[in-house]
A and B are shown apart, each in its own frame.
Chain A
Amino acid sequence: MAEQGGAGSTLGPLEAEVMAVLWRAGRPLPVREVAAELNAGRDAALAYTTVMTVMSRLAGKGILVRSRSGRRFVYAPVAADTAEIAVRGVLAEFGDAALARFVERAELDPQLRERLRRLME
C-alpha cells in the first residue's frame, strides 16, 4: 500500500497527486486517465498538457517509467512510496559524497555481461 507524507517534500503538490493516482490504480495508466482522475474532484480542471508535462518530468527524474501500450504511452511508478522515492533521490544526489555502494548502476556492456555469466558457471 503506497504511503504518502513523510519524505513527500521530494515531490511538488501536483506531482504528489499524480503519484497518488498511479499508486491507487496499481497498474500503468495513460495521461488521459490520470488527468480524468485528478479532475474528478476539481472545480477548475487541469489541462491535459499540464498533466502530461508533470508526468514527463517525473519520468525524466526516474520516478515514473514510460512504456508504449498500443498507440499510446502509459506511465507506471518506479518506487512503491514516497519514502523510497526520497531515498533514491538522496542516493542519486549525494551518493558519491560519502557512500560506499556495492555496485554503480551501469548499462552493462554485452561483453562484460558475458564475462560475468562465465564466472557464474
Chain B
Amino acid sequence: MTRRLGLLAATSCWMLLLVAVMAHAALAVLAAAEFATMGWPLPTWFDTTAVTLVLATAAAGLTASVFVALRAAAGSRALRALIRAGRRPVPLIVHNEAAGLGCAGRLDAVAGEDAFAVTYGLFRPRILVSTGLAAALTRAEIGAVLAHEREHLRHRDPLRLLAARLFAAWGCYLPAARWLASRAALGHELGADRAAAGRAGRGVLAGALLKLASMPACPAVAAANPEGNGSRSLEARVTQLEAGHPPRQRPAVNRLLASAGTLSLLAPAAMCCAALSQFLPGGLL
C-alpha cells in the first residue's frame, strides 16, 4: 500500500513538473508574441518587466535544457561506439551471476582492468561492466553489484536521471532545482542498494562499495564532475546500510525559500503575461 502511494506521489510530481514546464513554455510564446505585436517597451513598466521576466527565464531554461539533452545524446552515441570497439566476452563469473538475476541478456563488457559497473541507455537500458570487475570482486560481491544495476534497469533510471536533469535545467533560475535533481538521483541509488542488500546481504554490498569506491579517483573523472557528489552520496548509502532504512535528509531550507521567493515573482508576471494576451490579434484568452 505504501509502495503504491509512493509510486502515485512520484508519478504525480512528474506530471506536475511537466505541466509547469509546458505552461511556462506557452507563456513564453505568448510573451514573445506580445512584444512582437505591441513593441518594446510595453505601455507600463510593470507589464514590460513581467513579460521580460517570463521570456528571460524561459530562454535560460530552454538553453540549459538543450545543453543537457545534447550532452546526453553525444555521450550516449560515443559510449555505444566505444562499446562496439572495446567489447569483450562477459567474464564467466559475471555472466553466471547475471543469469541468476535474469539480466544476462542485457549485459555488456568492455576491456578494462579498472573495475566499474554502470547502467546506460535511455529506452532499452543495459548494464555495462569492465572485465576488471571479475578480478576485483568476489562472486557474492559481483552478485550484489549486478542486483543493484538490475534495479536501475527495471526502473529505467538513466531515463529518469536525464528527465530530472532536464527539469532542473529548465528551472535553472530556481536555487532548489539542482538540489531536487540530486535528491532524486540519490533516491534511485538508495532504492537500488535496498534491493541489492535484500538479495546479497548488506555485508556483501558493503564489501563491494568499499572496494570499488576506494580506488583512487581518476583526475579526469574529478575534473568532469566538479559537483563532487560522490562522497555525500556514499555517506547516505552507508548510513542506510547501517540503519536498515533510508537516512533522513534535511531539506535545503535556504534554497527552497529562495526558490519560493523567485516563484512568487514569476507568478504575478505569468498572470500579467496571460492577461496581456487579450491585446493580441484574435485575443487568445
Footprint of B on A, CB under 8 Å? 6-7, 60-62, 78-81, 83-84, 86-109, 112-113, 115-117, 119-121
Contact = CB atoms under 8 A, between A and B. Distances in A.
A105 B111 contact: no
A81 B110 CA distance: 11
Contact of A98 (B76, B110, B111): B76
Contacts of B35: none
Given A112-B234, A119-B202, A119-B241, A94 B72 contact: yes
Nearest to B219: A62
B75 A94 contact: yes
Contacts of A115: 238, 242
B112 A113 contact: no
B86 A86 contact: yes
Interface in B4-45: none
B280 interface: no
A58 to B, nearest CB: 11
The residue in A7, A97, A117 that gathers the most chain B C-beta atoms within 10 A of its C-beta is A97
Given A62-B221, A99-B119, A83 B213 contact: no
The residue in B82, B188, B210, B242 that gathers the most chain A C-beta atoms within 10 A of its C-beta is B82
The residue in B83, B120, B157, B161 that gathers the most chain A C-beta atoms within 10 A of its C-beta is B120
B97 to A, nearest CB: 14
Contact of B158 (A60, A80, A98, A105): A98
Interface residues of B, number: 70
Contacts of A84: 86, 110-114, 130
B162 interface: yes
Contacts of B208: 102
Contacts of B120: 98-100
A106 B82 CA distance: 25
Interface of B: 68, 71-72, 74-76, 78-79, 81-83, 85-86, 110-114, 116-120, 122, 130, 145, 148-149, 152, 157-159, 161-162, 165, 188-189, 192, 202-204, 206-210, 212-221, 223-225, 227, 229-231, 233-235, 237-238, 241-242
Contacts of B241: 119
Contact of B112 (A60, A62, A80, A90): A80
A103 B115 CA distance: 11
A25 B23 CA distance: 62
Contacts of B218: 62, 78, 88, 92, 105
Contact of A102 (B111, B148, B220): B148
The residue in B149, B234, B241 that gathers the most chain A C-beta atoms within 10 A of its C-beta is B234
Contacts of B229: 104
A79 B112 contact: yes
Contacts of A79: 112-114
The residue in B81, B112, B149 that gathers the most chain A C-beta atoms within 10 A of its C-beta is B112
B221 A97 contact: no
Contacts of A61: 219-220
The residue in A86, A101, A103, A117 that gathers the most chain B C-beta atoms within 10 A of its C-beta is A103
B210 A116 contact: yes
Contacts of B79: 87, 90-91, 94, 99
B85 A80 contact: no
The residue in A79, A91, A93, A98 that gathers the most chain B C-beta atoms within 10 A of its C-beta is A98
A95 B72 contact: no
Contact of A88 (B112, B165, B189, B212): B112
| Leading 5 A-B pairs by shortest Cβ distance | A94-B75, A83-B86, A104-B230, A119-B206, A106-B230
Given A81-B111, A105-B218, A113-B214, A7 B82 contact: yes
